Amino acid sequence: MVRHIDSEIQMIKETVLKMGGCVEKALEGARQALLSEDPRLLKTVQEQEDQINVLEMKVDELCMQLLAKQSPVAKDLRFVIAVTKINTDLERMGDQTLNTVRYGLEFFTSETKERVPADLKKMFDEVIEMVRMGLDAFSRVDVESCKKVLHKDDEVDALKNKLVQMAQDKMESKAWTIDSGIRFIMIAKNLERLADHVTNVAEDVIFLATGKDIRHGQGAGSESLKA
C-alpha cells in the first residue's frame, strides 16, 4: 500500500536534488570564471546562489509540513533529520562557491597576472566530483558512494595544503603581495570548506541509510557501516 507520506518525501527529495544541481552549476560557473578570468560569470554564480537560497526555504517548509500533517515513523524521521542538515550544508556550499569566485576574480585579475595553477584546477575538479558523488549517494541512499566521498575529502585537504604553502612561498619571496597571497589562500580554503560540507552530506546519508552517526570519527569502521 502506498503511503501518502511517501509522495511528500519524494517531493522533498526532488527539491533537495534540484538544490544540489544549482550548487553544481554554481561551482562550474566559478571554475569557468577563474579559468577565463571573466568577471561576467560572477552573475551566473550569483543567480544560482539566489536559487539555492529559495530552495533552502522550500525544503524547510516541506519538512515542517510533513512533520505537522503526517505521523512519521522512525525511518521517516531519520529522513527529515538528515534532509534538514543536508539542506543547511547545500546552502552553505552556495555561499562558499560565491566566496571562491569573488576571491578568485580579485586574485587573477590583479597585478600578479598569474594563470590558474594545475593544483587549483585539480582541486576544483575534485570538489565538483565530490558534489556529484554526494548527490548521487543521497539520491540512491548509497553507503558505498558515501565512503568514496569521505576518502576523496582527504585528497582535497592535501591539495589545499599544497596551495597554501605555494602562496606562503610566493609572499615570502615577494613575488606576491600579502593581499594577493591572502586572496589566493582564501580560494583554496573556500574550496576545502565546500568539500567539508559534501563530507557532511555523505555522513548524513550514512545516518539515513543505517541509523549510525559517524560524525567526528564515531563508528566510522567498515563493520559499523553495515545497514
Higher pLDDT, 137 or 225: 137
Average pLDDT value for residue range 107-128: 88
pLDDT > 90? residue 227: no
Percent over 70 (pLDDT), the chain = 93
Query: How does residue 108 score in pLDDT terms, banded at 50, 70 and 90?
Result: confident
> Which are the contacts of 6, defined by CB distance < 8 A and separation ≥ 6?
none
pTM of the model: 0.91
User: 14-48 pLDDT, tens per residue?
Assistant: 999 999 999 999 999 999 999 998 889 999 999 99
Instruction: Tell me what the mean pLDDT of segment 94-115 comes to.
Output: 88
Cα dihedral 153, 154, 156, 157 sign: positive
Return the domain boundaries, the chain: 4-225
pLDDT of 226: 42
Residue 110, H or E segment = none
Query: Crossing angle, helix 143-172 and helix 118-140, to 10 degrees?
Result: 160
Q: What is the pLDDT of residue 126?
A: 97
Rounded to an integer, what distance in angstroms lies between the CA atom of residue 202 and that of residue 26? 20
pLDDT value for 223: 44
**Rounded-to-integer distance, Cα 227 and Cα 48, Å:** 35
Which DSSP category does 215 fall into? Answer: G
Position 2 scores a pLDDT of 53
Residue in the structure block whose three cell numbers are 582564501: 186
Average pLDDT rounded to a whole number, residues 202-221: 82
DSSP output for 134-185: HHHHHHHT-HHHHHHHHHHHHHHHHHHHHHHHHHHHHHHTTSS-HHHHHHHH
Tell which CATH architecture fits domain 4-225.
Up-down Bundle (1.20)
Question: What does the pLDDT average to over 9-13?
Answer: 96
Rounded CA-CA distance 31/143 in Å is 29
Beta strands in the chain, from DSSP E residues, in sequence order:
none
DSSP 108: H
Give me the pLDDT at residue 109, please. Answer: 80
